[in-house]
Amino acid sequence: MAAKASASTGIRRRIGDTVDAERRTGRHARTGGVTELEIVVDAHERYPYKFANQHVRTQRRGLRCGDYAVTLGEQTVAAVEP
């Protein structure tokens, strides 16, 4: 159990560092300066997340895996199934 606690502490610390970098530079470090991101939402997702107040655009279409994805051209570069 202690190993899990230390791993999650490390993740929180890295996220905190990212937030601090955003405050210092005025840029969104997580997006590397991308002003708008397109998120593909699986067409079969019954209750999709709305991404309200986020700098994203959503597109609904069938995905091979996951419920949400980020694509680069036609290639999926990240997929999530919460």
- Residue 64, pLDDT > 80, answer yes
Residue 18 lies in domain: 1-30
Please tell me the distance from the alpha carbon of residue 66 to that of residue 16, in angstroms, as a whole number. Answer: 27
Please state the φ and ψ torsions of residue 4, each to the nearest 5 degrees.
Answer: -65, -40
Q: State how many domains the chain has.
A: 2
pLDDT tens by residue, 24-51: 555 554 556 666 788 999 999 999 998 8
Residues 20, 43 within the same domain: no
Residue 9 pLDDT level (bands cut at 50, 70, 90): low
Residues 44, 15 within the same domain: no
Residues 41, 77 within the same domain: yes
What confidence score (pLDDT) does residue 73 get? 78
Residues 53, 75 within the same domain: yes
pTM equals 0.57
Percentage of the chain surpassing pLDDT 90?
27
Residues 12, 46 within the same domain: no
Asked if residues 69 and 40 have their Cβ atoms less than 8 Å apart, the reply is yes
